[in-house]
Chain A
Amino acid sequence: MLPTTFGPWLDYTINGLVIGNIYALLAVGLALIFGVSHLINFAHGSVYMVGAYIGWLCVTKLALPLPVTFVTVAAGCGLLGAVIERVGLRPLRNAPRIAPLLATIGLSVVLDQSAQLLFSPDPRALPTQLPTWRIAIGGGSIGALDLLIAGVGIGSAGLLYGFLRFTKLGWAVRATALDRDAAQQCGVDVDKVNRTVFAIASALGGVSGLLVGMYYNTIDPNMGFQAGLKGIVAQLIGGVGNVPGAIAGSLLLGLIESYGIALFGTSYRNLFAFVALILILVLRPNGLFARARRLPPEPLTGTFIAPSRPLVLPKWAVWTLAALALALPLVVQQPYLLQTLGNAWLYALLALSLTLVAGTVGQVSLGHAGLLAIGAYASSLLALDAGVPVLLAVPLAGLVAAALGTALVYPAFRLRGHYVSIATLAVGEIVTLVILNWESLTRGPIGVTGIPPLSVAGKPLVSGQWVYWVPLIVLLAFAALQSRLLNSHLGRTLRAIREDDVAARSYGVDLNRYKGLAFAVAGFIAGVGGALMAHFYSYINHETFPAPVSMLALTMVILGGLGNVAGAVLGAAVLVGLPELFRAAAEYRMLIYGVVLLLLIRFRPQGLLGTV
């Protein structure tokens, strides 16, 4: 259904520019922060959400006039930004580059979950006090709110330009971005610069959240995640750290989305952004507007492997623990307990998979839940639509996840550090969006129902004991395999890539081949895990494996110790098993994960059992 007249296209253009303006407010802040601290701030989306809620409080509870609301939102979020810099990031100044990035993820989880607890997860209306007139322009129309958004966008850009160009602190910001040491030698207090930049960026982000809330007349505690990603995408299109580029990238992204929706429909909206992101990362990692001379922004290498002496369990202890775990259902009979632990073993498969790529090979993947989703859908659809026996469908699903996962991440193999994380995050989102939109294969938003359970010789394995045993046996088998792999020549090669990929390459290691191998093994393990989940849950949809699951997996892996096989199992048992056993209220669980992640990064980066 293509609109044929010119009028609607003008509307789409106006809409695209308005949305682009909103993205620009986010992206400019991200670019400023990247400029001075070389950090991609994943908490930025949460600040945007906080801005929307402060605005909501001002408008609905305090009935403040609009200008006062804007000032309050900017001030509140500016303060929040300064606090984020002070408590979340400054202590990590000398930590590996990836540590502050993980800290911003933790902060983002904490902020989102706190908002959910304070304001309930339900969306709220954010009414505007603006007049409702619209000016007709050649078939399209512009309303007061559109003009306000444009005005705020242009006004902030002007203020920012003036600040950077004509004030002393603005000069210090630019100088710090160009050469931190030299700026310090001019007497610039770079901590103050960082704090200022976080405050400005967060104020802009908060205002952006307020504007979006007004534009759609709805806000919710999870609105920040996608928006933050959009800001990151827009920033990457323009070139990281490039402020004018971020504005141009945002407008471009807004237009792409608006036209894309016009052509394909709303449910595709986010797909454009993430596909654009992957294309940019692969084709022009410096952004569309980078000058050819500019060096690639590569100060982001380095893994989050804290030096430590891993706890090595003696062989007999491993065997004893495994035997005890296997014998547990003979003693404990409560189905609920067994089910919970079985679920923990399923998540341990995901952690096992992630610890291989994030720990051993040092490619911190933020889209690992996508592999679960691929495995789950592959196995259920093979069983349901192709009539493949479940016992065969599960390993086949593992192979599909291995192949698809590797192929999807392949373009990101030449990226390093933060870029790998962003690319994998985007791949995870793309998987979800394809599942949502490819209705003829995946049944779209309805999901897959009536997935047959695992059965051996016609006997379905659905009792509490089997729900516990099957995942555990699969887990033990994979854990044993992975341990052997880590101690082999291959394991050493993978760790060499993590420690110094240039050195590894100069010793003749073909990076792509080994990274591919690692992702394939990881994809197989996670795919089998996802497949088992599908057969135990009997119903899945595109929201069964959302992005927070990827973050949870990362927390498990860091908790246990990156690269540590036993650590991955322990991390999953602690984070999935314990909250369930202690009956911690479900709404607090994600908050706990976020806090655990933050504390680990700050105080025990090597995890409980140590990195390998």
Chain B
Amino acid sequence: MTDVLLRLDRVNSFYGPVQVHFDLSLEVPCGQIVCLLGGNASGKSTTMKVILGLLKPRSGQVVFDGQPLTGLNTPQIVRRGIGSVPESRRLFGTMTVRENVLMGAYTRSDAKSVAEDYEGVLDLFPKLRERHAQQAGTLSGGEQQMVAMARALMGRPRLIVMDEPTMGLSPLHVDRVLEMIQTINRQGVSIFMVEQNASLALQIAHRGYVLQTGRIVLSGPAADLARDPQIRDAYLGGAQAA
């Protein structure tokens, strides 16, 4: 049994009067890739918001590394060691690639090791080295995704949460992004990713959860989920499974 890095414990969250999560509980073990699957409006992205403190749950708690995150704001949560790759990347469009990536190190004050890490992520994403002085908003979708991942890495997080990292990318870039996620994971960073594309997510994930209208309806090792007939019907429709 591995240690649990992130745990959501019976979270109930609301948008005004509308309840989004119903007793949502899930766990991200240390060093693993965990994916949260679900269709539109299942509450996937809201789960990200709850973890990052952008939405306060009405009851239940988020526990990171044994410490509850209740009452902390987003910057404080980020400082605890959670990096994020937001939905549709959310880069700072008119800032350069270099500035965007270094913004990820905003919470760190060790200039020397930041510079080393910056070289490190450029080695990981060589494409960004040529683009470093370019405005981030002018990059292609795949390149922007790399900037977003590089930015998240710069905070030296222990966990990166990703919201639909493959959305809107060409198939070529999708594979590259999945590889990158695995590479990052091998360096010891746990990954929690929210995905609509179950077949892709389950290819690289260790564990998966299936969210339906705010409730977890299935969970288990990724390999089991990929074989589960329910999942196949609901999310792996013939064409996509290929």
Q: Which residues of A contact B (CB under 8 A)?
A: 168, 171-172, 174-175, 178-179, 181-190
Contact = CB atoms under 8 A, between A and B. Distances in A.
Given A171-B95, A174-B95, A187-B155, A181 B86 contact: yes
Interface in B65-93: 73-75, 78-79, 84, 86, 90-93
Contacts of B93: 178
A186 B155 contact: yes
Contacts of B79: 187
A185 B102 contact: no
B218 interface: no
Given A182-B92, A186-B103, A186-B107, 13 more contacts: A171-B95, A172-B103, A172-B106, A174-B94, A174-B95, A178-B95, A181-B90, A182-B86, A185-B86, A186-B104, A186-B151, A187-B75, A188-B75
A178 B155 contact: no
Contacts of A174: 92, 94-95, 99
Nearest to B78: A187
B54 A184 contact: yes
Contacts of A175: 92, 95, 103
B52 interface: yes
Contacts of B94: 174, 178
Majority secondary structure, A binding face? helix
B52 A185 contact: yes
Nearest to A293: B137
A178 B91 CA distance: 8
A182 B91 contact: yes
B216 to A, nearest CB: 24
B213 to A, nearest CB: 25
B89 to A, nearest CB: 9
Nearest to A174: B95
A182 B100 CA distance: 11
* 9 residue pairs, one from A and one from B, having the closest CB atoms: A187-B107, A187-B78, A182-B90, A184-B74, A178-B92, A185-B84, A187-B75, A189-B75, A186-B106
Contacts of A190: 75
9 contacts: A171-B103, A174-B95, A181-B86, A181-B90, A182-B86, A185-B74, A187-B106, A189-B73, A190-B75
Contacts of B95: 171, 174-175, 178
A181 B54 contact: yes
Contact of B78 (A171, A179, A185): A185
Nearest to A178: B92
A257 to B, nearest CB: 31
B102 A171 contact: yes
Contacts of B73: 184, 189
A175 B137 CA distance: 13
A188 B75 CA distance: 6
Nearest to A169: B106
Interface string B186-224: 000000000000000000000000000000000000000
Contacts of A189: 73, 75
A180 to B, nearest CB: 10
B211 to A, nearest CB: 21
A172 B100 CA distance: 10
Contacts of B104: 186
Contacts of A187: 75, 78-79, 106-107, 155
Nearest to A172: B106
A499 to B, nearest CB: 15
Interface string B92-114: 11110001001110110000000
A289 to B, nearest CB: 14
Contacts of A185: 52, 74, 78, 84, 86, 90
Interface in B43-68: 52, 54
Contacts of A184: 52, 54, 73-75, 78
A28 to B, nearest CB: 17
Nearest to B54: A181
B40 to A, nearest CB: 21
A174 B135 CA distance: 13
A305 to B, nearest CB: 16
Given A171-B99, A175-B95, A175-B103, A186 B90 contact: no
A449 to B, nearest CB: 58
A184 B104 CA distance: 10
Given A178-B92, A178-B93, A188 B106 contact: yes
Contacts of B78: 184-187
Interface in B152-179: 155
A179 B107 CA distance: 17
B152 to A, nearest CB: 8
A420 B107 CA distance: 40
Contacts of A171: 95, 99, 102-103, 106
A179 B103 CA distance: 12
Interface in B6-60: 52, 54
A195 to B, nearest CB: 14
Nearest to A185: B84
Contacts of A168: 106
A5 B104 CA distance: 59
Nearest to B94: A178
A181 B102 CA distance: 17
A190 B74 CA distance: 10
Nearest to A177: B92
A181 B92 CA distance: 11
A336 to B, nearest CB: 51
A7 B222 CA distance: 82
Nearest to B102: A171
Contacts of A172: 103, 106
A190 to B, nearest CB: 8
Contacts of A186: 78, 103-104, 106-107, 151, 155
B161 to A, nearest CB: 9
A168 B110 CA distance: 13
A187 B52 CA distance: 10
B115 to A, nearest CB: 14
A189 B104 CA distance: 13
Nearest to A165: B99
Nearest to B84: A185
Contacts of B91: 179, 182
A181 B89 CA distance: 11
A190 B103 CA distance: 14
A358 to B, nearest CB: 25
A178 B94 CA distance: 8
Contacts of B74: 184-185
Nearest to A189: B75
Nearest to B108: A187
Interface string B118-160: 0000000000000000000000000000000001000100000
Q: Which of B90, B94, B103 has the most CB of A within 10 A?
A: B103
A189 B107 CA distance: 10
Contacts of B151: 186
Contacts of B90: 179, 181-182, 185
